[in-house]
A and B are shown apart, each in its own frame.
Chain A
């Protein structure tokens, strides 16, 4: 049995797929997105940080470790604690991150085990993974929450650290394999919320409309600033305002005009 580096398991997750879900966040990601909401999930090892615990007005300093190695059994025990709620709501489990495909063996085992329990399974991925891993999990994955950040490969590389090659290629392959896909586009001020980029999205997605039942636009919020500070990581988004660039509703409108079913939020 594999072990997996997890940074959090959230219960009553209600925006990561249908029903009430448990979302398992893997730690470790091949991308370095400027706008990353979960910077503590990037590194593939545990990280110790100092933070302040609050007791009323007082603050008490303590250490906290991001990340924990868990066996597949341990993760499943935690996931199945909410089985009654998963079943009642036709929900299940979502594997997210970081990037779950960055730990492919554990992901495969967890998906397999989840399907044995008849849970609905979702994988939230950036798509930057070896196709053989995706192919392997395909029969055990009911839904892919597939992130698409930028179509322009040069920009993609600049803002995330990798090119779009694998990502767009894998999306095409998943469609060919009739996978159930919901697309997630983080709308990032000045980085991808320009008219030109929207046009690129539409051109890229045009032929895929009928295979992608839903596109979610995720608005950017400056929520992770505190985390960057705690981790001592440079925050590339500092100085950026949430409202800069094209309005998210216009983004939505353009995609809808192109025939997509678009929602704002997860």
Chain B
């Protein structure tokens, strides 16, 4: 990377994450400035959006090519008091916590104390949500049966399609009067709401144009005082770009990126949507601009790369908005889950890997930034060369790009009723969530703790940690004469808690559609304009709501251990197991060793254990899938945890798989940490025991030692491993290439690393099987030698 990019990258990496009160103050000012009771909700939201964009500071970082910051400076992170108001205590926690902190300076604290808190206290969406939840919901939430995504953040969870590359905001505004003309005030009770929503959309579209023009002006002013002729020319060119987009459709590669970036800033300023926002199939969108630019000589490959690098830095400047409480526990990261897709298929079903794909992969490898996240979509039609290129980046060990099965994603989306072209235009976003880009509102509603539900079942409806009876009294398991009786009791508890979750979701969904419309996001996602309906109210062409199951590996091992030791082998009785668990296995090492080592485990391609994974999956699927939501969405499941398996573990006592009180649960659909001892193919076979195509995404992590990838032959074998998993309809896999720090931890806690494969000498072996001196040697090798 050249000096400019190096500088921008360093600036981004070194910037301190801090809270900026700018947005909160502006939104407060706006709400104080007028009598909002006279204004409809969508217009209130649109006008507050406009007010922010008209008044916020314009930040242009030295040397950058793509402009626009959400806050006044990189990583100066705004807050959204109308959604979630931070107390002074929250600010102190954010400021001083060890992980994922946001610094709060004295001025910000003062603004909060004197202006923001007094105005918003008692009128935030978060308070509205909790006031509307019943006791059953509150108890389940408090004990950690599930989390609630929309408690501190607005829905979002969506990705832009190709709209902005074909239409300017002015083109979109042009459609609104036509739509207004068609409203039926004689027969349609929704007509008034539609009119307000459409007007609100128009206000936001004009606001983003104004925002761009403010940048153009600032750039022109900078150009006036710039002494460096090259930069001066650049600044003027950038100003010209901001004059053209987003008002009009982009004319070139640079304008396409700048247009997207303004839209991105708009979406994450309007509210604090989950998964920020995302350009999705960027290599597809950029290709026409790339090709025409190279052809007419206005673009070089080097300049395209530099623009992409500058674009990449912008994402890294924007951490996820500050989270506190359970939201921080379930998603404890600065990452805002903007997942850029590469490869896959074109709308007409052809191999879509192109020159921009490879250029972007180069950028990812070179930039090595936390944000944006990136992934490759791999279809059977994509060449191996593409996958090998991706694996060569993965082996460098920073977890990017992740690898997705395009053919599975398309089938998942089509099963949900999407048109094949919309499905092919889709991909995955967030962690692993399938979506039709540009046409779907697919909203994640919260993590669901499958393990907790079994724990409550084992305690006859009571949560053992709090002693509260929050489930159904399905009986004392020691009275169950068969394993099937336990499964039946679990199903009753599962449906009980899923009912509670869905009821809460439906209320929260109505709260967002009523009080927190997003007219700006709505103009971007089809068919909100055509329907005159907000994104949060079901305006998109497709609407889906997800409940995310967590702890599949753990619950499978728990059920397996119970069946194996209590019903089949009769190693010990219910009473003995219960007693040992109550003592957190203190004094029961032998019994715990049997549970950990002498029990079939999920992840080893053994039917005895894996059948329970399939059974739990079906039970969870049956309980959730197909339920309707008020905005016209359908509930579906996916299987991913972010960091929630750690939180759910914290609130779960010792479990029958030998897991200790408070330890993390298994993550995604991966086996419990260290339970898989037969290598990656066995894990993949276990993980494909249930039907990924009936989910909206599953998450499988695999861990490898860097030494494994030492040559091209190994890289090819890993690509074939991925192809094999995808042939089994696996949705996603991510390879973790391990550092020496992890290997050291593996020495200290070998039972957690039973699946760690290392390349030894002429063969591969499990790290645990090696003597201590060889382990030390390999640690040294990794630390020094790299590849």
Tell me the A residues contacting B by CB distance below 8 Å: 10-16, 19-20, 37, 53-58, 60, 62, 81-82, 84-85, 88-89, 91, 216, 218-227, 265-266
Contact = CB atoms under 8 A, between A and B. Distances in A.
A11 B681 contact: yes
B761 A218 contact: yes
B761 A62 contact: no
Contacts of B724: 20, 84-85, 88-89
B685 interface: yes
A231 to B, nearest CB: 13
Interface stretch (B96-104, B350-358, B483-491, B591-599): B591-599
A131 B485 CA distance: 60
Given A54-B750, A221-B761, A85 B597 contact: no
Given A81-B605, A218-B761, A20 B593 contact: no
A55 B771 contact: no
B301 interface: no
B682 A11 contact: yes
B720 A15 contact: no
B631 interface: no
A55 B752 CA distance: 9
A142 to B, nearest CB: 18
B286 interface: no
A13 B681 CA distance: 10
Contact of A85 (B678, B721, B777): B721
Given A11-B681, A12-B680, A225-B771, A20 B721 contact: yes
A84 B730 CA distance: 13
B714 interface: yes
B593 A265 contact: no
Given A221-B760, A223-B761, 15 more contacts: A12-B679, A14-B713, A16-B763, A19-B717, A20-B720, A53-B596, A55-B751, A82-B682, A84-B724, A85-B721, A88-B724, A91-B720, A218-B762, A220-B761, A265-B762
A15 B762 contact: yes
B1 interface: no
Contact of A226 (B592, B679, B771): B771
Which of A16, A60, A85, A265 has the largest count of B CB atoms less than 10 A from its CB? A85
B723 interface: yes
B700 to A, nearest CB: 15
Contacts of B764: 13-15
The 8 closest A-B pairs by CB, nearest first: A89-B720, A226-B771, A218-B762, A12-B679, A85-B724, A266-B762, A60-B593, A221-B761
B749 interface: yes
A236 B684 CA distance: 41
Contacts of A58: 589
B590 interface: yes
A265 B750 contact: no
A262 to B, nearest CB: 13
Interface in B571-597: 589-590, 592-593, 596-597
B761 A81 contact: no
Interface string B218-233: 0000000000000000
A10 B761 contact: no
A20 B728 CA distance: 16
A55 B770 CA distance: 17
B115 interface: no
B351 to A, nearest CB: 18
A266 B727 contact: no
A61 to B, nearest CB: 9
B774 interface: yes
Given A84-B724, A218-B761, A62 B682 contact: no
A54 to B, nearest CB: 5
Contacts of B748: 57
Given A219-B761, A219-B762, A221-B760, A60 B720 contact: no
B479 interface: no
A89 B592 contact: no
B679 A60 contact: no
Contacts of B685: 81-82
B773 interface: yes
B563 to A, nearest CB: 22
A192 to B, nearest CB: 15
Contacts of A89: 716-717, 720-721, 723-724
A11 B684 CA distance: 12
Contacts of B720: 19-20, 85, 88-89, 91
B679 A62 contact: no
B741 to A, nearest CB: 18
A128 to B, nearest CB: 20
22 contacts: A11-B605, A11-B682, A12-B721, A14-B713, A14-B764, A15-B762, A20-B720, A20-B724, A37-B763, A55-B589, A55-B596, A55-B751, A56-B751, A81-B682, A84-B727, A84-B728, A85-B684, A88-B727, A89-B717, A219-B761, A221-B761, A222-B774
A20 B681 CA distance: 9
Interface in B589-625: 589-590, 592-593, 596-597, 605
Contacts of B590: 60
Nearest to A57: B748
Contacts of B749: 56
Contacts of B592: 55, 60
Contacts of B596: 53, 55
A96 to B, nearest CB: 10
Given A20-B721, A88-B723, A11 B761 contact: no
Interface in B680-727: 680-682, 684-685, 713-714, 716-717, 720-721, 723-724, 727
Contacts of A216: 762
Contacts of A222: 771, 773-774
A220 B771 CA distance: 15
A266 B751 CA distance: 28
B751 to A, nearest CB: 6
A84 B593 CA distance: 34
Contacts of A84: 724, 727-728
A245 B679 CA distance: 35
Nearest to B684: A85
Contacts of A88: 720, 723-724, 727
Contacts of A11: 605, 678-679, 681-682
Given A19-B717, A84-B728, A60 B589 contact: yes
Contacts of B714: 14
B763 A62 contact: no
B679 A10 contact: yes
Contacts of A221: 760-761, 774, 777
Which of B593, B596, B723, B761 has the largest count of A CB atoms less than 10 A from its CB? B761
Given A56-B749, A56-B751, A84-B727, A266 B717 contact: no
A226 B770 CA distance: 8
A16 B717 CA distance: 13
Contacts of B757: 12
Which of B596, B720, B749, B760 has the largest count of A CB atoms less than 10 A from its CB? B720
Nearest to A58: B589
Contact of A82 (B681, B717, B763, B772): B681
B760 A223 contact: yes
Given A14-B764, A89-B724, A265-B761, A53 B771 contact: no
A55 B728 contact: no
